Chains A and B, each alone.
Chain A
Amino acid sequence: MTNQTEANEAERMGAVRRYDILDTPPDGAFDRITAMASRLFDVPISIVSLVDTDRIWFKSHHGLEVEEIDREPGLCASAILHEGPWLVSDAAHDPRTLANPLVAGEFGLRFYAGVPLTTHDGYNLGTLCVIDKEPRQASDDEMDLLADLASVVMDEIELRLAARRTLQLEGELREQAESVARSLQETLLPRELPEIAGLELTARFHVAALDTVGGDFYDVVAKEGGCLAVVGDACGKGSKAAAITGAARWGLRALSLDSEDEPGETLAKLNNVLTQVREAPETYCTMALASIRPRKSGGADVTVALGGHPYCLVLRGDGSVERIGETAGIIGWFSDMSYPDCQTSLASGESLLLFTDGLLEALAPRESTDDSKVQGLLEGAPRTSATAIADTIDSWLGSDALDDDAAFLVVRVL
């Protein structure tokens, strides 16, 4: 037990602040205890007090309208300097209190019985006390009862601190998880897209939940004579999805280095890499991979291969929107799959849109199997720049959190 002296007042105040209870709103639990104490002792007033540096603040005050008094005349300030109960049967004749203004003055206090509210580490925060304006006696049994009630008060105070700490910890953990998710997501997405001569590129990413790493990804790799653009979706969320996303993204970069492979061949190789290194894989990804090669004479040649992924869209100069891509198997589950290439050319001002299923889902009701909504909407959309196209799609997605991540990449021929 800490010795309650004025010398350790600074530490005691540290304890008072730790519980962060001063000036908190009234609380039924404490009010019930003071009401009960007042009835048991048959006295008009009962208080749960907390002794601050220069005042005594009442967490609960039964039978008294005042919320705080100066520390100086307060009897609770004296009571907390003692171990155990502090009893004054007739304050007007007690040398400890007879000169106290609360006793000698208008208030006319005569009876005071207080028990310190002692923390588990021995600091007296304040008291539970009962007060009368008539002198009276208190039996040992009554004082024991008051001490029991004081422990109940202290339990309530400890409980509130524990609850607040849990809440705080929860908040910190959530913040930590979100920050991990964010930084992981950042390593899974390119910081910025490369500049490719003759092309204009814009990518957008909508995250469904902040505290989990989503499965969507995109990347653009600059190549001799153009670029390779990919949009993909790893099955699931969290670390497993992040692992295959990372493997797929870096695998694609490695496979496309100094390689003249068409997208279909690249996907086949990536699929074999991912299935060979993982026995009985537990997750897979889907992707659309496109090579875009601007022509010197204007326009660009495009080749698209799909791995378990929805089609890509071509935004034509006449306002029409075409699908491109031939369905093929998911990536990273079955080995030795093949991925057919589909070719088209884009004229100047035409665009290729690569997107994940999250975009189709966000624009259609969850039960709908109609995936042509994006295509229909795009037919009327402005195409003056890649950014304008992306902004229009963003506006359809809105700012509400989506059920699933959505990523898309616009490649527009200048």
Chain B
Amino acid sequence: MPSLTITSQRSHSVVTVCVEGELDLATEGDLVAGVIGELEASALDVVIDLTRVSFIDSSGLRALLLCQRAADERSRPLRLTPGTGAVKRLLAISGVEAVFAYT
């Protein structure tokens, strides 16, 4: 059962993709599709807010890497708000903290 909720909030210069729930094999595709959708929908900077992600595994990290690649390919800035929990731990273990920009 996918247990991920993705919502978008727009301000004048930024669209924030808020991710809540478990980011794993079952849900990674939803995040990538959601972020690519926002990259293509407007010229606003995209922020992925991960503070409410309760669980993330290697598939979830791949989703973030694919989002970053999609942003790079479009020469668009992408920033993460990793929070303090599961996402921050996995980014640290995986040695990819420097790959992303943060809010």
How many residues on B have C-beta within 8 angstroms of the other chain's C-beta atoms?
22
Are A367 and B94 CB-contacts (below 8 A) given A235-B61, A333-B65, A334-B99? no
Q: Which residues of A contact B89 (CB under 8 A)?
A: 369, 371
Q: Which residues of A contact B61 (CB under 8 A)?
A: 235, 330
| Shortest Cβ distance from residue A207 to the other chain B in the assembled complex, whole angstroms | 15
Are A369 and B85 CB-contacts (below 8 A) given A329-B95, A404-B57? yes
Q: Does B33 contact A (CB under 8 A)?
A: no
A259 to B61: give the CA distance in the assembly, Å: 33
Q: Does A18 contact B (CB under 8 A)?
A: no
A357 to B86: give the CA distance in the assembly, Å: 13
| Shortest Cβ distance from residue B74 to the other chain A in the assembled complex, whole angstroms | 14
Q: Which residues of B contact A116 (CB under 8 A)?
A: none
Contact A330 B86 (CB under 8 A): no
Contact B55 A367 (CB under 8 A): yes
Neighbour of B86 across the interface among A284, A369, A404, CB < 8 A: A369
Q: Does B62 contact A (CB under 8 A)?
A: yes
Contact A235 B59 (CB under 8 A): yes
Q: Which residues of B contact A135 (CB under 8 A)?
A: none
Neighbour of A366 across the interface among B55, B58, B59, B94, CB < 8 A: B55
Name A299-341 residues within 8 Å CB distance of B.
Answer: 306-310, 327-330, 333-334, 337
Name B26-64 residues within 8 Å CB distance of A.
Answer: 54-55, 57-59, 61-62
Contact A236 B25 (CB under 8 A): yes
Neighbour of A308 across the interface among B25, B55, B96, CB < 8 A: B96
Are A309 and B93 CB-contacts (below 8 A) given A236-B62, A333-B65? yes
Contact B62 A327 (CB under 8 A): no
A313 to B3: give the CA distance in the assembly, Å: 33
Q: Which residues of B contact A294 (CB under 8 A)?
A: none
Neighbour of A367 across the interface among B57, B62, B86, B88, CB < 8 A: B86
Q: Which residues of B contact A333 (CB under 8 A)?
A: 65, 96
| Shortest Cβ distance from residue A402 to the other chain B in the assembled complex, whole angstroms | 12
Contact A236 B58 (CB under 8 A): yes
Contact B96 A330 (CB under 8 A): yes
Name B77-103 residues within 8 Å CB distance of A.
Answer: 85-86, 88-89, 92-96, 99
Number of A-B contacts (CB under 8 A): 63
Q: Does A264 contact B (CB under 8 A)?
A: no
Contact B25 A237 (CB under 8 A): yes
Contact A215 B58 (CB under 8 A): yes
Neighbour of A357 across the interface among B57, B62, B65, CB < 8 A: B57
B9-35 interface mask toward A, CB cutoff 8 Å, 1 = contact, 0 = none?
A: 000000000000010010000000000
The residue in B54, B89, B94 that gathers the most chain A C-beta atoms within 10 A of its C-beta is: B94
Closest residue of chain A to B62 (Cβ to Cβ) is: A235
A371 to B89: give the CA distance in the assembly, Å: 10
Q: Does B69 contact A (CB under 8 A)?
A: yes
A224-237 interface mask toward B, CB cutoff 8 Å, 1 = contact, 0 = none?
A: 00000000011111
| Shortest Cβ distance from residue B65 to the other chain A in the assembled complex, whole angstroms | 6
Q: Does A272 contact B (CB under 8 A)?
A: no
Contact A310 B93 (CB under 8 A): yes
Q: Does A280 contact B (CB under 8 A)?
A: yes
Binding site for B on A (CB under 8 A): 215, 233-237, 280, 282-284, 286, 306-310, 327-330, 333-334, 337, 357, 361, 366-367, 369, 371, 404
A236-B59, A307-B95, A329-B94 given; 18 more Cβ-contact pairs under 8 Å? A234-B58, A235-B61, A282-B66, A283-B62, A284-B62, A284-B65, A286-B94, A306-B95, A308-B93, A327-B95, A328-B95, A329-B95, A329-B96, A330-B95, A333-B96, A337-B95, A369-B86, A404-B57
Give 23 A-B contacts (CB < 8 Å), ordered by A residue: A236-B25, A236-B59, A236-B62, A282-B62, A283-B62, A306-B95, A307-B95, A308-B93, A308-B95, A308-B96, A310-B93, A327-B92, A327-B95, A328-B95, A333-B65, A357-B57, A357-B58, A366-B22, A366-B54, A367-B85, A367-B86, A369-B85, A369-B89
